[in-house]
Amino acid sequence: MFKGFFQKIEQEIIQISGRDYEPGFFSLEGLLAGASHIYRAGAEIRLKLHEKGLLKKKRLDCLVVSIGNISVGGTGKTPMAIYLAELFLRLGKKPVVISRGYKGKIRIGAEVVGDGTSLLLDAETAGDEPYMMAARRSFPVVVGRDRYGAGLMALEKLNPDVILLDDGFQHIRLERDLDILLLDHERPLGNRRLLPGGRLRETLGTARKRAHAILFTRCPEKQGSQSEVEPGPGNIIQELGSLPFFATFHVPFLAKWVSAKDHGISNRLEDLKGREALLFSGISDNKSFRTTVEDLGCRVLDHLEFSDHYRYKGPDILMIKKRMEQIKADIFVTTEKDWVKLDPSLKWPRDLAVIGIQIKFKDAKGFETFIRSRLPR
């Protein structure tokens, strides 16, 4: 009984934090708004202590780049970490991505998820995003809650010259050479309230003092030149001051196709067009996944939505397969993040398409030039 009550309250808080509102007295909105002020005071005190040197920062003996945001929820940090790691590879560098391994099992110390050629941990141990990155087998990935300790281990075992901190913007006790801040194009600051009355971890005012560049994610591709990008309602570009900013798009790709038969394996997104699909996903923005699939010309008959980082169990898989038979869909579609949590030996009664997301820049050359300018001489 109590579990259901608290889940209901949690869902109500999530809904409130995602919308604009005027808090009333003796209301949940008012309580959350009050808590936001307390959270903001605590966050700003912490930042001041670091600025004054009262909380000491630590330094790693290589170039350190942070990729992060100031809001909870997905803004594309993991696709961006992949993009940057591959960019540094093209520039002749040896990058290692460090993640705290959210929802993984590494509590103490640090572990190598993949060394760039082999996978050394599974998704349940490493966490969804670190495993997904390591599964590309193009650059090493390390998990550790203490980023400095994880960085020391990476330097000793993997000898990188660039360390990328995935979701590292608020991890300010580790010094970095470059801070890249991601903001969602549609609602870059949400309702502008901090947690728990909103979704901000800190204000844009404090964040822009540390950021070296802003990346707007999920921009509509129909926009013209870089200067025409106007993110979100009210246009916040004027609040950025002289900070450079770049527009990026989320571009879907076919990460995997699991054929129900021994033939007919696809490697094209176009093969989803006209198919009738059952979607299932457990990510921070399930609705955007459905929109992506529909934009590919696939007819969605049903979408089974799970919570972010959901761990699928046997009964869940049986339920998904049963629903497929009920609605008579002819293909399953899920996300790359969900796929890494599924047993690859599972048999599916219909084809299954796995959709991944990659970052595309409006001005890719301009961003590369910016990155080159930050490299040690």
pLDDT, mean of residues 43-53: 90
The structural domains of the chain, with segments of one domain joined by +, span 63-243, 251-359
pLDDT, mean of residues 284-299: 94
* pLDDT at site 285: 87
The one-character DSSP state at 345 is T
* pLDDT at site 262: 65
Please state, in angstroms and rounded to a whole number, the distance separating the CA atoms of residues 297 and 329. Answer: 15
**Cα angle 127-161-207, degrees, rounded to a multiple of 5:** 65
* pLDDT at site 249: 92
The class (CATH top level) of 63-243 is alpha beta
pLDDT, mean of residues 294-303: 97
Residues in Cβ contact with 149 at an 8 Å cutoff, skipping those fewer than 6 apart: 109, 110
87 vs 238: which has the higher pLDDT: 87
* pLDDT at site 16: 81
**Same fold? 63-243, 251-359:** yes
Please state, in angstroms and rounded to a whole number, the distance separating the CA atoms of residues 193 and 188. Answer: 12
* pLDDT at site 233: 46
List, for residues 300-333, the tens digit of each pLDDT value: 999 999 998 899 999 999 999 999 999 999 999 9
The one-character DSSP state at 347 is -
* pLDDT at site 300: 98
- pLDDT at 154 > cutoff 90: yes
Average pLDDT, the chain: 91
* pLDDT at site 335: 97
* pLDDT at site 231: 53
- pLDDT at 1 > cutoff 50: no
Residues in Cβ contact with 155 at an 8 Å cutoff, skipping those fewer than 6 apart: 60, 61, 62, 163
Percent of all residues in the chain with a pLDDT value above 90, rounded to a whole number? 75
List, for residues 198-221, the tens digit of each pLDDT value: 999 999 999 999 999 999 999 987
Q: String of b and e for 34-61 (b: at least 16 CB within 10 Å)?
A: ebbeebbeebeeebeeeeeeeeeeeebe
CATH tag for 251-359 (out of 1.10.1740, 3.30.70, 3.30.450, 3.40.50): 3.40.50
- pLDDT at 6 > cutoff 70: no
CA nearest to 348, candidates 261, 263, 270, 236: 261
Could you tell me which residues are beta bridge partners of residue 279?
Answer: 303, 333
Confidence of residue 54 (pLDDT cuts 50, 70, 90): confident
Write down the pTM of the prediction: 0.92
18 vs 100: which has the higher pLDDT: 100
Q: What is the 3-state secondary structure (H, E, C) of 32-76?
A: HHHHHHHHHHHHHHHHHHHHCCCCCCECCCCEEEEEEECECCCCC
Confidence of residue 264 (pLDDT cuts 50, 70, 90): low
